[in-house]
Amino acid sequence: MSLRPTLLPLAVALALASSSAIRAADIQQPALTPQTASSGGPMPVEQTRVHFDHAELHFTLDIPHRRLSGDARLTFTATAPTDVLVLDLDRNLPIGAITLDGQPMAPSNWSNPTGRLRIALPHALAVGEAVTVGIRYAGAPHVAKNAPWDGGFVWSTTPSGKPWVASAVEGEGCDLFWPCIDQPTGKPDLVDTWVTVPKDLAAPGNGVLVGIEDHGATRTWHWRIKRPDTYAITLNVGPFKELKGDYASRYGNTIPMEFWYLPEHEAQAKELFAGFTPMLDFFEQEIGPYPFGDEKMGVVETPHKGMEHQTINAYGNHYVKDGFGFDRLLQHEFAHEWFGNQVTNANWDDMWLHESFGTYMQPLYSQYLYGDMDYFDWLHQLRLLVHNDKPMVSGERRTEDDVYNPKTGPGQDIYNKGALVLHTLRGLIGDDAFFDSIRSLVYGRPDPKPGNFQPHYATTKDYIDIVDKVTGKDYGWFFKVYLYDAKLPQLVEQRQGDTLAFRWVTEHGEPFPMPLDVQVGHRVQTLSMADGHGEVHAAPGTLVIADPHSKVLRDMPHIDDFRRWMEEQKKASKETKGKK
């Protein structure tokens, strides 16, 4: 999901939120059912009995009336005997007709009262048998009040008054505008989209442009993409201009680059586009091959903040600068091509595999470009945002909202705390092992080259096993404390004469043999802390700094004090405004 706005200057964040609210303020629509509003969670057993082969999605937009007509043709192969297909589709998009292998079905054979569409098959499918279901539907798709955090469609206009439309549905899921299996593991092998729009508008999409069909007043844009995330399928419509180029990969292939932007922003767009090549070079050097090099690296300017739509990332950061020399939101969304689209969490509970790694790529990129000062500046900003209220991983099957909602899950800690956990792991196991572990996580193999890997799924346990394999050691203790505990480890100091003792204290008393650097005077020594304890000799008054190079994520009371002070300031500000 797009980078949360907590790191943006406050005025910019408020302005963006206000503009989104204004766009949606006049829109009245039925509430989503709990089924449609939720993404992921326990998977219906019927959905586990089929493999999603191909989605052919035909969309026609009625922009003045903010309506969508869809004609979906979905092909499945049975992996277990089944006499029913179960899909997800917002019931506010009424179904007009359903066919099975081209034959009309009686309305009595299907129902969609809650957003979970059940289609009774005339005969049970045997293992290996394929079926194609056609679904025609139309209606007013859910409108996002604050995309991308509140998912749905954004119906906006450009500065010149032209229509500007985008979808962003990660939170609530793909069923907001097409019939799908709304689970992380619901990816189709192949998706074709046809988007029909007025002739003076463009409709950049996922994957490769197959062709554009001219109908006079309208045109249909046909795109094809392999194995996309379900929520990464997107619609984008506007009077876009296009910047194109090629990136010569260090792996020998050539990657097309495309940026679809508003004509009013041509100068800024050219500057942003110039940053595509160094970003690609960073990721290919540090992580591995761009996963979709045979399709494209694509970006489209959107009226919402941003989202990691596979091969056509949404960008709406208004070309802001922040002193780091690159656009942080664009880089974050692009990171998700590796962490989210190439390797996808098997369960929303494993979402830190997307967001923590994606967030850590910004300080890493800063270090890659300009060195340690920017790197540690990034880390300090992230540290001030860590909550530690809920564990980052629960070990249970969860919905998207279970994870992102701070009342029930880790919320933004999967971004900020997770990135700091990775910084700590990197310092613990060393750069070679750290980047080797990431490579194996992302590609499912240590030696990725274009053509020898495919997008795949992974879990938290998979990554823990990879780290153990790469290092030849058991690091279960590390992940137990940082992922499955809410609170950070505490470093307790106690002096007796010239001896200064250190010990780690964890939330539930787990072992935590984290090595600790201690600077005494101007000399740094490393304590193994094998049993969670260590000590140095330093006379009273001697300079002593624990962890002088900030290697270890740990409880820091002064940061908690700062966070409490900030909350008090916010509360006081609200009370003052309320009295005016």
Predicted pLDDT at 18: 33
298 and 224 part of one domain: no
For 375, phi then psi, to 5°, come to -60, -50
163 and 305 part of one domain: no
Q: Which domain holds residue 63?
A: 31-239
Angle (deg, nearest 10), helices 352-370 and 276-286? 110
In a domain, 361, yes or no: yes
123 and 72 part of one domain: yes
Kindly report, residue by residue over 458-491, the tens digit of the pLDDT: 999 999 999 999 999 999 999 999 999 999 999 9
Residue where a domain stops, chosen among 239, 265, 286: 239
Closest residue by Cα to residue 237 from 265, 196, 268: 196
Query: How far is the C-alpha of 421 from the C-alpha of 14, rounded, in Å?
Result: 29
**Per-residue pLDDT averaged across 187-210, rounded?**
98
Q: Name the strands in the sheet holding 533-537, side by side, starting at the edge strand that comes first in the sequence.
A: 490-496, 499-505, 533-537
Q: Does the pLDDT at position 122 exceed 90?
A: yes
Residue 294: CATH number of its domain: 1.10.390.10
Nearest-5° Cα angle at 24, 20 to 26: 140
447 and 389 part of one domain: yes
Stretch (H or E) spanning 372: helix 372-383
265 and 153 part of one domain: no
404 and 523 part of one domain: no
**Per-residue pLDDT averaged across 169-192, rounded?**
97
Residue where a domain stops, chosen among 239, 263, 280: 239
Query: How far is the C-alpha of 537 from the C-alpha of 152, rounded, in Å?
Result: 61
In a domain, 490, yes or no: no
248 and 220 part of one domain: no
Q: Residue 10: pLDDT band by 50, 70, 90 thresholds?
A: very low
Kindly report, residue by residue over 529-578, the tens digit of the pLDDT: 999 999 999 999 999 999 999 999 999 999 999 999 999 998 888 878 77
183 and 312 part of one domain: no
Query: How far is the C-alpha of 311 from the C-alpha of 304, rounded, in Å?
Result: 17
Residue 104: CATH number of its domain: 2.60.40.1730
Q: Does the pLDDT at position 350 exceed 90?
A: yes
Q: Does the pLDDT at position 8 exceed 70?
A: no
Beta bridge partners of 98: 135
Q: Residue 164: pLDDT band by 50, 70, 90 thresholds?
A: very high
Query: How far is the C-alpha of 90 from the C-alpha of 36, rounded, in Å?
Result: 6
In a domain, 394, yes or no: yes
**Per-residue pLDDT averaged across 119-136, rounded?**
97
Q: Contact, 227 vs 455, CB < 8 A?
A: yes
**Weakest-pLDDT range from 14-28, 65-79, 159-173, 486-500:** 14-28
Q: Residue 580: pLDDT band by 50, 70, 90 thresholds?
A: low
Please return the burial class of 507, using the count of CB atoms within 10 Å of its CB with bins 0-12, 13-18 and 19+: middle
157 and 213 part of one domain: yes
148 and 222 part of one domain: yes
Predicted pLDDT at 552: 98
In a domain, 292, yes or no: yes
In a domain, 200, yes or no: yes
In a domain, 191, yes or no: yes
Q: What is the torsion angle, in degrees rounded to the nearest 10, for the CA atoms of residue 565, residue 571, residue 573 and residue 577?
A: 180
The DSSP code for 202 is B
Q: Residue 21: pLDDT band by 50, 70, 90 thresholds?
A: very low
Angle (deg, nearest 10), helices 431-443 and 416-429? 130
Total of domains in the chain: 3
**Per-residue pLDDT averaged across 396-424, rounded?**
96
Average pLDDT over all residues of the chain: 94
Q: Is the pTM of this model over 0.75?
A: yes
473 and 540 part of one domain: no
Predicted pLDDT at 27: 56
In a domain, 574, yes or no: no
Kindly report, residue by residue over 288-327, the tens digit of the pLDDT: 999 999 999 999 999 999 999 999 999 999 999 999 999 9
Record the tokens describing residue 404, joined without a space: 């992102």
Record the tokens describing residue 206, joined without a space: 């996922």
Residue where a domain stops, chosen among 424, 453, 483: 483
In a domain, 521, yes or no: yes
229 and 247 part of one domain: no
